[in-house]
Amino acid sequence: MAVINIDPVLGPPVNPPGLLAVPVDPELDLFKEIERLKKEKNAVLLAHYYQDADIQDVADFIGDSLGLAQEAARTKADMIVFAGVHFMAETAKILNPDKKGLLPDLNAGCSLADSAPAPLFRAFKDRYPDHLVISYINCTAEIKALSDIICTSSNAQKIIESLPADQKIIFAPDKNLGAYLIKKTGREMVLWNGSCMVHEIFSRQKITALKARYPNAKFIAHPECEDQVLRMADFIGSTTALLNFTKKDLSREYIVGTESGILHQMQLASPNKLFIPAPPDTNCACNDCPHMKLNTLEKLYLCMEYEIPEIMMEQHLLEAARKPIERMLEISRQYGL
Ligand code: 13P
Ligand code: SF4
């Protein structure tokens, strides 16, 4: 391996915007190294279910967006390393302004968060002055700061139902989750026109063909999927809800309509069951989130070793974005979520 001289002032070489350009010794046991760094730096490693299996295996906590935000809110660690996408690491930082928040690759964004630019959303919101804004956690800190309450797919229904029946609501940025929640709650909501590039491309036709091939398989899906796909589902829920369903349900075969990373935990929890990733409308057999999959074990190791890339935010934005997240955590506590 090439020897890299780390500049004591400038630090390690960085590729804009924030990816470390340091080669990793292929013989290094990265699992061991990451465990060592966690202890040395009193760091907690949080990973979303959509991460690669090896990252999930080395994480301290694996969860859906709500579970990870709750874990970030309660951690006593000095450093939070987030194996997920930018809005997740940003949320952890907002909840822990005095801790160091790291994301292995700052390019790990989210099509849903990108679909709601703050200036456009502000203008949209201004058209509905008597509406309360509920935003899905998959949005930027700027959108959070323009929102009254944040929600995730685990608690959105409860949060909407906790509001007075005559309360007018804007729901952003996911139109598919919004449409699903309108159906579930019977509430009228004004929807922002955003969507997830992963959940929007499941092929109804290919799922139908899979169902014919595996007639005993249940089709389970995430509510970010389009209505035409959700209508085929035997069960709909957040990633944690889908995982819990497969643990308790008595079927032995499942077609899983969400990002394929979740199959790792499903298979670990139920080794004798068959999990088939629902195919997208492309030539691929399973559906990966290209943003989530930017994180690798190597990048994770480098980011913990050199403590970059770090999530940096302006104080006023941190404070404005924290209020609606804390409101979500408070309502979730009240409902035991
Ligand atoms: P949950 O983590 O709430 O299931 O959402 C899935 C997702 O798309 C995260 O980016
Ligand atoms: Fe965003 Fe969809 Fe990827 Fe989740 S799966 S991070 S919502 S693009």
Q: Which of 73, 67, 74, 136 is nearest to 337 (CA)?
A: 67
Give 210 Cα–ligand 1 centroid separation in angstroms. Answer: 24
pLDDT-derived band at 286, boundaries 50, 70, 90: confident
Cis amide linkage into residue 8, ω under 30° from 0: no
The mean pLDDT value for 306-332 works out to 96
The mean pLDDT value for 48-63 works out to 98
Element (H, E) at 227: helix 227-230
Give 305 Cα–ligand 1 centroid separation in angstroms. Answer: 28
pLDDT at 18: 56
Of all atoms in ligand 2, which is nearest to the CA of residue 110? 1
Q: Which of 235, 198, 229 is nearest to 50 (CA)?
A: 198
pLDDT at 206 over 80: yes
pLDDT at 1: 43
Complete DSSP assignment for 252-294: SEEEEES-GGGHHHHHHH-TTSEEEEPPBSSS-SS---TTGGG
Q: Which ligand is nearest to the CA of 116?
A: 2
Best mutation site among 82, 88, 115, 239 for ligand 1, i.e. most ligand atoms within 8 A of its Cβ? 239
Q: Residue 99 in contact with residue 120, Cβ under 8 Å?
A: no
Tokens of 281: 């409308």
65 lines ligand 1 (CB under 6 A): yes
Q: Which of 278, 327, 293 is nearest to 152 (CA)?
A: 327
152 lines ligand 1 (CB under 6 A): yes
Element (H, E) at 219: strand 218-221
Q: What are 161-182's pLDDT values in tens digits?
A: 999 999 999 999 999 999 999 9
pLDDT at 12: 61
pLDDT at 3 over 60: no
pLDDT-derived band at 241, boundaries 50, 70, 90: very high
Q: Residue 116 in contact with residue 137, Cβ under 8 Å?
A: no
pLDDT at 284: 83
Give 53 Cα–ligand 2 centroid separation in angstroms. Answer: 17
The three-state secondary structure class of 202 is: strand
Of all atoms in ligand 1, which is nearest to the CA of residue 85? 10
pLDDT at 17: 55
108 lines ligand 2 (CB under 6 A): no
pLDDT at 289: 96
Q: What are 96-144's pLDDT values in tens digits?
A: 999 999 999 999 999 999 999 999 999 999 999 999 999 999 999 999 9
Percent of the chain at pLDDT exceeding 90: 90
pLDDT at 248: 98
138 lines ligand 1 (CB under 6 A): yes
pLDDT at 37 over 60: yes
